[in-house]
Every structure is written in structure tokens, then in C-alpha cells.
A and B are shown apart, each in its own frame.
Chain A
Amino acid sequence: MEDKNDQEIQIPQASGYLVAAGLTFIVFWVTNILKESYPAIKSFLEFYKPIGPLLGVFAVSLLAFLIFSISVMC
């Protein structure tokens, strides 16, 4: 019985992280398209000039994963 309760809690939580990862990938490719389409977004994503906008794309995507993960935990 205890095992069943464990699983009831675990399955939605683990699935939630998979969904969070999927949504993060959507944020990642949408950010890439926006970066190429709008120079203002490209320049905003250049957090550190020598590395370029890729650093911003990674940072925004990781932030999105963090937000989605927190919503899974709540």
C-alpha cells in the first residue's frame, strides 16, 4: 500500500520534469528564431560581448527550465 502511494506521488512528479524539459527546448528554439529575426533581441542576449548571443540563449533556456521545474515541485 505504501509502495502504491509512493508511485502515485512519483509518476506525476517525474513526468512533470519531462514536460519541463520539453517546454525548455521549445523556449530554446523560439529564442533562437527571435534572436535571428530581431537585432534588438540579439543585442539583448549578448550578456558578454566576446562570447556573443549564444550565452544569452543558454541562460534564458536554463532560467526557463528552472521556472518550469519550480512549478513541477509546487
Chain B
Amino acid sequence: MEVFSRLLAFSFWEKFADIHGMLAMFSLILFGAGIVLYFAARKSANFIGWLKTTLMLLFVDITLLEIAGLTVYIPYRAEGGPRSILKASEATAWLHTDIFEHKEFLAFAPMLLILVAFIVVSILGKNFNNETVSTLRKSVIFSLVIALIFVLIVAAEGVIVTKAAPVS
């Protein structure tokens, strides 16, 4: 019980930042499901609908992740917040100017990549396994893998920054 009372004692922004991280972790499960379902759909057309649903859920999750990420900017940029702490020391300034700046811009790509993958799968529908659309089909797995790599990089950069100056 003490664990729960300590968790509840976290500030609003600490809880919010944790939910932001949880959404990122949830996306990894959906990425795994999406990649597996892509290959399952290649073997059986029955899985095309599942792939479409997974991509839609992944898009919703990443969109919520982006909205939460932008919202966490409020305490991050606030006076005396993590950004000020990091920029105050020469030893940690690079964590904001290089790592965080890189993270915030890389984060835009996965949302759009997954949206387009969802649209392509929706448009192809039952023709997903047709050889005349092989390039379009490959764009789906390409988008999934690249978006996953980007999310992993962004998550790693988020952890690096948070360890030095957590949101509180």
C-alpha cells in the first residue's frame, strides 16, 4: 500500500510525464503486433483487417503520445524547470541543445508514417497481396520499421534528458 500512496504523492506533471512514457511503451507493443500482422497478412488475407485495426490503434496511440509530449513542454520550459537547469551548466547544456532538440523534431515523423501506412492498407484492402501493388505494400513495412526506429531513438533521448533533469 505504501508504494501506491508514494505513487499518488507524485505531482501532477510527474504523473503526466509518466503517462507520456506509458503511451510510448504501449506503442512498442502495437509496433510488434503491426510487424507480425504484416507478415501474417501476406500469408492469409484474413489478417488484413487486423493489420488495419492495429495501424489505426497505433496512430491513435502515437497521436496521444505527441499531444502529451507537447503538453509536457509547459513544465519543461517553465522558469526554473528542466530546460533552465540543463542550460545553466555547460556540462549539461548539450542535453537540451543537442539531445532534446533532436528528440522533439524526430518525434513528428512516426505519426505521419503510421497514418500513411494505415491509409495505404485501407485503400489496398483485399488487393493487399496482389503482386501489382508490391511496392505500395513494401511502403507499409518500411513505414512501420522506420517509425519504430524513430520511436526507440526518441524514447532513449527522453530517458537521457529525464535522468539529468526530471519534470517535477
B contacts with A, residue count (CB < 8 A): 25
Interface size class of A (residues with CB under 8 A): 20 to 34
Q: Which residue of A lies closest to B83 (CB)?
A: A52
Separation of A21 and B77 alpha carbons in the complex (Å): 30
Across the interface, do B133 and A11 meet the contact criterion of CB distance under 8 Å?
yes
Across the interface, do B123 and A13 meet the contact criterion of CB distance under 8 Å?
yes
Across the interface, do B119 and A51 meet the contact criterion of CB distance under 8 Å?
no
Across the interface, do B108 and A51 meet the contact criterion of CB distance under 8 Å?
no
- Kindly identify, within residues 26 to 69 of chain B, every residue whose CB is under 8 Å from any CB belonging to chain A: 66
Which one of A18, A20, A54 lies within 8 Å of B73 (CB-CB)? A54
- CB neighbours (8 Å) of A7 from chain B are 127, 130, 132-133
Residues A21 and B70 in contact in the complex (CB < 8 Å), given A10-B124, A11-B133, A52-B77: no
Interface residues of A (CB under 8 A from B): 3, 6-7, 10-11, 13-15, 17-18, 20-21, 24-25, 28, 32, 50-52, 54-55, 57-58, 61, 65
